[in-house]
Structure 1
Amino acid sequence: MSYTNSSSMNFGSGNVRRTFEFGRTHVVRPKGQHQATIVWLHGLGDNGSSWSQILETLPLPNIKWICPTAPTRPLSTYGGFSSTAWFDAVEISEDAADDWEGLDASAAHIATLLSTEPRNVKLGIGGFSMGAATALHSATCYALGQYGNGNAYPIDLSAVVALSGWLPCSRTLKHRIEGSRDGIRRASSFPLFLCHGRGDDVVAYEYGEKSARTLSSAGFRNLSFRSYNGLGHYTVPEETDEVCSWLTANLGLGGFRLN
């Protein structure tokens, strides 16, 4: 496991600028042939280290995992108290204001991490909870070819995995993609894998299911949604096994083996 230095990014317009200081990034090197690189995003209040330890145990020897740590920032959901978070979330609801600036900053940070990977390696993003929401935002940026602020999205993504998450900025997604011929084309074939526990008491199952429906209606036809009876806001071997199988199939990986 290796580490990279923290980085900062400035986003904003006019006289208002916000600086996002990202934490330490943990890297799990492939044990076999390097065929894919996936940036994996932790949930609210977590860090890259905890997920790097989980990912290192998966039977996917040909994937390099990059596990960054989100900036520490004041959160509306915590009454202004600070926590590691990819963006500010007032609440998980279509009626809540979306933090486009924070989402774009995190998506840009992820794109920067992927930008130096070899050209022959497939690129993906995955995440849990708020990390899953950020991964889905990156998927919509890829389909549209631009971030929410209109700047060009530079990465050729091959797949996105979202566990126990939700789709931010969902209210305008269908309209934005329908207004882009390239967006319709990219969305229609892009592989998405969403998983959610029916017993989730943090990000309610209905939000995960509704996010899948919204993405599908917006044109993401190559989408799989899996639900798990009794599963709360955590992951279990059945879920990670299905993630491994899905990634192997959709990224054309070799070397997959279940223990």
Structure 2
Amino acid sequence: MNNSASSSGSGTTRTFEFGRTHVVRPKGNHQATIVWLHGLGDKGSSWSQLLETLPLQNIKWICPTAPTRPVAIFGGHPCTAWFDVADLSGDGPDDLEGLDASAAHVANLLSTEPANIKLGIGGFSMGAAIALYSATCHILGKYGNGNLYPVNLSAVVGLSGWLPCSRTLRNKMEGSIQAVRRAASLPILMCHGLADDVVAYKHGERSAHALNSVGFRNLTFQTYNGLGHYTIPEETDGVCNWLTASLGLQGSRS
């Protein structure tokens, strides 16, 4: 399934061609749908294969593939990336156009799910950055470009990632009681390894503090000793337990 999303900024519109989307169907009663986003240079199929093995019976997983685009951190060399990035920390300039296009692509994938299904977004590394950015779009009710954010999120997971646009989040939330209320009730799980040599642990920790300080009260930040920039069974077990509890999944574990 190929999709494209347009993003408008300063009078120009760029179209991003998204790669193939892989779907893991629920083995039991469908209670939740989660879009799971891969990291820089990866593709949806590598995560769909892992998610297929998880003991969660009631979740449908949607694993899209990012557009192939020039990436500043690689000197402009093209690879799959949800947005352009100069460094994996949130310290560089934010590619708002790319962020909004990917967040909109994810929201569109969720928008066709049945009304009684709980919706979530998760991801690894740069995918986690889009998941966390989507969380801020959800609670503000709009993307960075001002367009309305169309879906209601029930859970967000970010592994080995960071929060884009953290510097402007507080200003955007000030004066919006509704945004603060939404932030307080949205469950977020962030996990980071102390030995991560790609997205340093301090960047994940700082992002968690940034979210917490503006009102994301239902945020869990889980640290893993010795974990680098990858995932391990202990971490995925933790994610499964957290999702089961946060989404109220019935009879979910096998």
- Report the AA paired with residue 202 of structure 1: V
Report the counterpart of residue 28 of structure 1 in structure 2: 24
Report the counterpart of residue 224 of structure 2 in structure 1: 228
**Unaligned regions of 5+ residues in structure 1, if any?**
none
- Report the AA paired with residue 60 of structure 1: L
Q: Structure 2 matches for 1:1-150, cutoff 5 A?
A: 5-150=1-146
Name the CA distance, whole Å, in 1 between partners of 2:5 and 2:58.
30
Name the CA distance, whole Å, in 2 between partners of 1:14 and 1:130.
25
- Report the AA paired with residue 201 of structure 2: Y
Identity %: 70
SS of residue matched to 1:172: helix
| Deviation by residue 1:79-136 (Cα, 9 ceiling, x = unmatched) | 0100000000111344411001100000000011001101000000000000000000
The CA deviation at 1:16 is: 1.3
Report the counterpart of residue 248 of structure 2 in structure 1: 252
- Report the AA paired with residue 214 of structure 1: A
SS of residue matched to 2:166: coil
Report the counterpart of residue 201 of structure 1 in structure 2: 197
Q: Alignment length, in residue pairs?
A: 254
Name the CA distance, whole Å, in 1 between partners of 2:226 and 2:10.
48
Report the counterpart of residue 207 of structure 2 in structure 1: 211
TM-score normalised by length of structure 2: 0.98
**Unaligned regions of 5+ residues in structure 2, if any?**
none
Q: RMSD of aligned C-alpha atoms? A: 1.0
SS of residue matched to 1:87: coil
Name the CA distance, whole Å, in 1 between partners of 2:224 and 2:200.
13
SS of residue matched to 1:134: helix
Give yes or no for the alignment of 1:161 onto 2:157.
Answer: yes
- Report the AA paired with residue 50 of structure 1: S
Give the ranges of 4+ consecutive aligned residues of structure 1 lying more than 6 Å apart after TM superposition: none
Name the CA distance, whole Å, in 1 between partners of 2:148 and 2:113.
19
